[in-house]
């Protein structure tokens, strides 16, 4: 399928979904989210890992503010932007495939929410993460306040959101926001090596682990333990 705002490349068990609005630093629009969600839904069963990346100089600078400030959009939007955004971000965590955000350049606000939706984040040292909702008088609506504390702890999450400061790739790795950080020229090779290590394991086990860890994230400890103990892999 051909898309206008994303690219999808499938090479055997690995798919790369690239946010493809480089002239806008991959600003997130309703159309991009709709296409990205459709692409996840259409992913072939043989794909076991999905790498989410950004074209050009950034992962994503966040929501497309030109769209949000357009009077016509405000007049005609029926909540589709929110629905498409939440659909895609949530699906990153619920699809059977392992999802990896490969982050270079800016990863801001809505872009950070997309990255947080993925199972793993690998960053370039030169990457810049930030929650800048407070700078522009917006509030997160795509799950940031739920996912960010689970990565970095509640106090660090509060500090990032309340100050809106930039967090570089190395610091992101140090505080647990990213799995690790490498110099930008090594980013592709490091993600490829991580993907290879994942694919070396049981295709049956990967979606089970994904569901079990999701259960641990989404339940209280006792509920999570029951979820793990009682988990039955869906048929099919």
What are the pLDDT digits (tens) for 124-174?
Answer: 999 999 999 999 888 899 999 989 999 999 999 999 999 999 999 999 999
Q: Which CATH number fits domain 6-199: 3.40.50.620, 3.90.226.10, 3.30.420.10, 3.40.50.10490?
A: 3.90.226.10
pLDDT in tens, 28-61: 999 999 999 999 999 999 999 999 999 999 999 9
Overall average pLDDT of the 207-216 stretch: 90
Query: What's the whole-model pTM score?
Result: 0.92
**Range 83-100 average pLDDT:** 96
Which pLDDT value is given to residue 223?
64
Strands ordered across the beta sheet of 106-108: 106-108, 128-130, 167-168
pLDDT on residue 226: 65
> What is d(CA 98, CA 94) in angstroms, rounded to the nearest whole number?
9
| Structural domain boundaries in the chain | 6-199, 201-236
- Provide the percentage of residues in the chain whose pLDDT is more than 90: 80
């Amino acid at each position: 399928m051909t898309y206008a705002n994303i690219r999808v490349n499938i090479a055997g068990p690995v798919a790369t979904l690239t946010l493809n609005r480089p002239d806008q630093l991959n600003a997130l629009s309703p159309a991009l989210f709709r296409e990205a969600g459709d692409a996840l839904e259409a992913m072939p069963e043989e794909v076991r890992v999905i790498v989410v990346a950004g074209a050009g100089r950034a992962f994503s600078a966040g929501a497309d503010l030109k769209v949000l400030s357009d009077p016509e959009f405000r007049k005609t939007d029926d909540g589709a932007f929110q629905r498409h955004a939440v659909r895609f971000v949530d699906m990153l965590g619920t699809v059977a495939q392992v999802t990896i955000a490969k982050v270079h350049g800016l990863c801001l606000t809505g872009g950070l929410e997309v990255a947080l939706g993925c199972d793993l984040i690998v960053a370039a040292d030169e990457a810049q993460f930030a929650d800048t909702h407070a700078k522009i008088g917006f509030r997160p609506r795509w799950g940031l306040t739920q996912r960010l504390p689970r990565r970095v702890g509640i106090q660090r999450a509060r500090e990032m959101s309340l100050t809106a400061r930039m967090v570089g790739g190395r610091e992101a790795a140090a505080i647990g926001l990213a799995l690790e950080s490498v110099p930008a020229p090594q980013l592709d090779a490091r993600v490829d090596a991580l993907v290879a290590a994942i694919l070396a394991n049981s295709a049956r086990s990967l979606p089970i682990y994904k569901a079990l860890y999701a259960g641990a994230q989404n339940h209280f400890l006792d509920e999570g333990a029951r979820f793990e103990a009682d988990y039955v892999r869906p048929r099919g």
